[in-house]
Amino acid sequence: MDIHINYLAVLVAAVVYFFIGFLWYSVLFMKPYVKEMGLDKLNKKEHEAAKKRMGRSMAINFVANLLAAYCLAHLVLSGSSFYHTVSVTAGLQSGFWVFLGFIATSSLNRVIWGTDSLKLYLINSSYFLVSFLSMGAILALWQ
C-alpha cells in the first residue's frame, strides 16, 4: 500500500489540535479544569514552578500533537486506499473511532482506579473528541 502523507496537512492538524487545547483549557473549561486538577490549591512556590515548566510542557505537547496527527493521517489514508476515496466523512470516522477505541477507553482507567473525577474525564475526553474529529476532517480534506 502506497501512502503519501501531506506534511502540511499534518502540521495544520497539529496546530489546530494545539489551538483547541488552548481554547478548551484556558477559555471554555478553565475554572472547572483547574478545580478538578487541584491546581487551585497550589501554594505560590508550586504555582511559580508550574509556570516555569509551562513552555517546555507546551513544546512537548506540540510534538505529541504532531505525532498524533501523523498517525491519524496514516489511518485516514489507509482507509482511503482500501475504499479508493478520501472524504471528510472518512476523516471524521477515523477521528471518532481512534477517540472512542483508544482515548476514551484508556482515559477511563483513571476514573475507574480513582485518580480522576468523572467531571475531569468528561472535560478531557470531550477535548480529545473535538480535536480528533477536527484533525480527521483536515487530514481528509488536504490529502
Boundaries of every domain in the chain: 7-141
Specify which of 2-11, 49-58, 125-134 reaches the highest per-range mean pLDDT. Answer: 125-134
Q: What pLDDT sits at residue 38?
A: 82
Residue 87 one-letter amino acid: S
Residue with more model confidence, 15 or 89: 15
Q: CA 44 to CA 64: how far, in whole Å?
A: 29
Q: What pLDDT sits at residue 48?
A: 74
Q: Are 66 and 18 in contact (CB under 8 A)?
A: no
**Band of the pLDDT at 42, cuts 50, 70, 90?**
low
What's the mean pLDDT when you consider all of the chain?
A: 89
**Predicted model pTM:** 0.89
Q: Average pLDDT, stretch 32-56?
A: 80
83 pLDDT above the threshold of 90? no
Q: What pLDDT sits at residue 82?
A: 52
Cβ atoms < 10 Å from Cβ of 113:
8
Cell 482507567 belongs to: 109
Q: CA 142 to CA 137: how far, in whole Å?
A: 9
136 pLDDT above the threshold of 90? yes
H runs (alpha helix) in the chain? 7-23, 30-37, 44-83, 88-98, 105-112, 118-141
